[in-house]
Amino acid sequence: MVNGEKERVSLLFMKALVSRGSVDAVSQQMASHPQYLESFLRTQHYILHMDGPLPLPYRHYIAIMAAARHHCNYLVYLHSAQFLRVGGDPVWLQGLEAAPPRLRLLDHINKVLAHQPWLTACSHIQALLKAGEQCWSLAELVQAVVILAHCHSLCSFVFGCDTDSDPASLSKSPNGTPPTFCPFDAANGNANVPQTLATPSEHITRRRSLDSSCDMVCLKEKIQKSQEEREKREERLLQTQGLQQTDMEEEEEMICFADPTRFITDPDLCYQEFARREEDHFQVFRVQDYSWEDHGFSLVNRLYSDIGHLLDDRFRSVTTLPSMHSPDLKRAIWNYIHCVLGIRYDDYDYGEVNQLLERDLKLYIKSVACFPDATKTPVCPLSLAPLKPSEQIHVNLLIMEARLQAELLYALRAITQYMIA
């Protein structure tokens, strides 16, 4: 990275350290592309922490449900810890059956979007919006769908970058408490963060606004000052906390390491080859009939204020990143992912996919996009070893964003069909 990009990444990481005392493993992986990282963090912070129709515990529980579909221990653990920090009921973490009925109603659309999004239908939306006392509002459902799609696609990135198998990303923090979190990033691993910055008192709510023009000296002073303040608070807490607090922390830690299978039903449901034959019931999703630019963007932005702009910025950022990959290659990757998920572009020559993407690369892309948890089994040894690390990250970012947009298109089209029915 050139000096300007390094300073940009340093500023993002400094903000995270000042605000919460941690830099998550996912952000560290994305740091080679600071322009995209900034867009990603902004979007994730908005959907998980900012104003919206869903309570904070609901948001993180939905994220747990989404990550569990791909058996992503990394995200299940991290969102479980954050769920507790925002006041979630620990009983819910015993499993999906312990969650409120309204959350359990999301189970079907969660597993369909995760594995076979082309099955998403107007009837699924109607079932959620007309469920009697447990019904969802349209605004709540849209936010829930955005969180589901965001976490499903993030699972692809986590597994593609091998973050889920990194013991450091799931390590315990001091005094038996879960790791702390960036304010704008709930997918947090606390990897390589000094223990003095990862203190149990960190879940005390504290928001800071940093001027982007503040120089590094100022930021370091803020870090030192905030660290001293945290240490003082920790000393006071340790003086007042007894065995009861210790027991509670141990209970929280145990729950945070809950088996992801507790949060899923129908575990055998997985990705299947999208039907292409004329006699098959499911038709190809044609972008000319329903696209993000002409339909999805306006709908999601109307029902969930500003999220359309944030998502659109992510899609644009990942496709315009400086890269050794040619624009044609990046488009081939994007369109190939959409193709295996049943989405087609009438104005694209799919012969370019076979010309530009080698067989091993196609296998990698399809595996990470469609069944990421299976990519770490011995029978499927996939790797992007020939590519430079930053280029490997770029490929995984393209996979994540293309999958995210595909899931959103299917869900938003079903919502549109419900609204005009």
User: Looking at the annotation, which residues are catalytic?
Assistant: 72
Say which residue the tokens 């000042």 belong to: 18
SS3 216: helix
**Rounded Cα–Cα distance for residues 109 and 282 (Å):** 17
**Rounded Cα–Cα distance for residues 359 and 177 (Å):** 45
**Rounded Cα–Cα distance for residues 63 and 79 (Å):** 7
8 A C-beta contact, residue 359 and residue 142: no
8 A C-beta contact, residue 256 and residue 90: no
Nearest one of 410, 378, 395, 377 to 334, comparing CA atoms: 395
Query: Could you tell me if residue 366 is left (phi over 0), alpha (psi between -120 and 50 degrees) or otherwise beta?
Result: alpha
292 Cβ contact partners less than 8 Å away, ≥ 6 residues apart? 312, 315, 405, 408, 409
8 A C-beta contact, residue 25 and residue 189: yes
SS3 100: coil
Query: How does 90-129 read in b/e, with b if 16+ C-beta sit within 10 Å?
Result: bebbeebeebeebbebbbbbbbbbbbbbbbbbbebbeebb
8 A C-beta contact, residue 407 and residue 418: no
